[in-house]
Amino acid sequence: MLKYAKITNDATKQCDVALGNYVPSGFTQMEVEQAYNGAWYVAGYTPIKPEPTYAEKRLAEYPVIAEQLDMIYWDKVNNTNLWQQKIAEIKAKYPKE
């Protein structure tokens, strides 16, 4: 995407981008891309998003705490172990590295 930008890090080609109609001094028109983390880079230098860790994958799949507590409550009432099975399934799917 063509925008007015100024390189702030020569090694990584990270840059500041002028948003709106005002063009600050020292900014030139160049092709830039926004990275996964929101930072701007000269086109072709944008870093690739790292693969999530096993902990991040687990966290994304765990039910929210309120739902887990509800599962635990109903497991006690019904003498089941659905919560334990669900957590074990997630841990098996994403083992520690």
Task: Find the domain containing 65 and state its range.
Answer: 54-93
The model's pLDDT over 13-56, given as tens digits with 9 standing for 90+, comes to: 999 999 888 889 999 999 999 999 999 999 999 999 999 999 99
Residues 9 and 36 in one domain: yes
The first and second tokens of residue 86, run together, are: 């669900």
Q: How far apart are the first and last CA of the chain?
A: 38
Residues 9 and 37 in one domain: yes
Residues 58 and 88 in one domain: yes
Average pLDDT rounded to a whole number, residues 78-96: 97
Residues 13 and 33 in one domain: yes
Residue 89 phi/psi, 5-degree rounding, is -60, -45
CA dihedral 19, 23, 29, 33 (to 10 degrees): -20
Residues 60 and 29 in one domain: no
Name the pTM for this structure: 0.64
Residues 64 and 38 in one domain: no
**Residue 79 DSSP symbol:** T
Residues 35 and 59 in one domain: no
Confidence grade of residue 84 (pLDDT, cut at 50, 70, 90):
very high
**Type and span of the H or E element at 11:** none
Q: Considering its fold, how many domains does the chain have in total?
A: 2
Q: Report the mean per-residue pLDDT for the chain.
A: 95
